[in-house]
Amino acid sequence: MEFITYEVEDMVGIITINRPKALNALNSTVLDELDATLDQVDLDAVRVLILTGAGEKSFVAGADIGEMSSLTKEEGEAFGKKGNDVFRKLETFPIPVIAAINGFALGGGCEISMSCDIRICSDNAVFGQPEVGLGITPGFGGTQRLARIVGVGKAKEMIYGARNIKADEAYRIGLVNNVYTQEELMPAAKKLAATIAKNAPIAVRNCKKAINEGLQVDMDQAIVIEEKLFGDCFETEDQKAGMGNFLEKDKSKKLKVVPFKNR
């Protein structure tokens, strides 16, 4: 791959968007490679993904303005769909995805981070949806996800004003869960990923599904979604081991790490 690197460490997959000369801007090739990388993740071996950008300056500085500048209406729509499909794949990916935001997260960069389950950032991170300054609307879900994460008023202020915010404000409005120094960011992302990875994988996956799908429907339907996914955990080895360990008061035993295929 030209612009994506993927490595696996201890049940954690790390995807790095690697186009630092363009501040990791998303062109069609980056989107295609990201899509292909997600398809290749071995869900029997990997329990959490971390998404980050190469270099010290930028996570993702947006969709590629050079590539977009000459698009026709039809091509613009197709480019928007390509991005939206990948972002949705990330959002609905069976395992949790942590965005480790190491600098600029503008336009499509802010949007891709919002497709992840959890966002943490370095203290040099800058977030924003500058699209109206370029004569377009946010096109990779920004109008929808930002309002859901930080609330309608804040999202409208940022989007209408094309106003960038720094890491401390992103933390204050709940766009990121935590802010670290640049050096601390990846270790913190890996620590968080490890904390998640040691828990029962079917239960973690079902929690993601329950939260995401439940938020799209009313509470009566949402509770039914939770009931089904709760029931789905029973008879798994982890449910038996997890509850068995508690009843036996045996804290030394860990949840079993067995591939999904064998469950």
Asked if 33 interacts with ligand DAK (CB under 6 A), we say no
Using Cβ positions, the residue closest to ligand DAK within the complex turns out to be 139
Stretch that binds ligand DAK, among 22-30, 89-97, 153-161, 186-194 (CB under 6 A): 22-30
Work out whether 53 is an interface residue with ligand DAK (CB under 6 A): no
Q: First-to-last CA distance in the chain?
A: 33
Q: Characterize 77-99 residue by residue with b for buried, 16 or more Cβ atoms within 10 angstroms of its Cβ, and e for exposed.
A: eebbebbbebbeebbebebbbbb
Residue 33: active-site member: no
Ranges within 196-225 binding ligand DAK (CB under 6 A): none
CA distances to 5, 163, 193 from 49, rounded to whole Å, are: 13, 30, 8
Q: By C-beta, is 33 or 131 nearer to ligand DAK?
A: 131
CB of 213 to ligand DAK, least distance (A): 25
Q: Is 131 a catalytic residue?
A: yes
Give the binding range for ligand DAK (CB under 6 A) out of 43-51, 112-120, 126-134, 198-206.
Answer: 126-134
**Contact status: 104 vs ligand DAK (CB under 6 A):** yes
Comparing CA positions, the residue from 17, 19, 57 lying closest to residue 37 is 17
Instruction: Name the helix (H) or strand (E) containing 7.
Output: strand 4-9
Diameter of the chain by CA atoms?
Answer: 66
Catalytic residue among 2, 56, 91, 111: 111
Please tell me whether residue 23 binds ligand DAK under the rule CB under 6 A: yes
Site for ligand DAK in 127-186 (CB under 6 A): 130-131, 134, 136, 139-140
Select which of 7, 9, 67, 131 is catalytic.
Answer: 131
Q: Which stretch binds ligand DAK (CB under 6 A): 79-87, 112-120, 191-199, 205-213?
A: 79-87
In sequence order, which ranges of the chain are alpha helices (DSSP H)?
Answer: 28-40, 65-69, 73-91, 108-114, 142-150, 152-161, 167-172, 182-197, 201-214, 219-232, 237-247
* Beta carbons of 54 and 19 less than 8 angstroms apart: yes
Q: Contact at 8 Å (CB) between 105 and 126?
A: yes
Catalytic machinery residues? 111, 131
Binding residues for ligand DAK (CB under 6 A): 22-23, 25, 61-66, 76, 79-80, 83, 104, 106-108, 130-131, 134, 136, 139-140
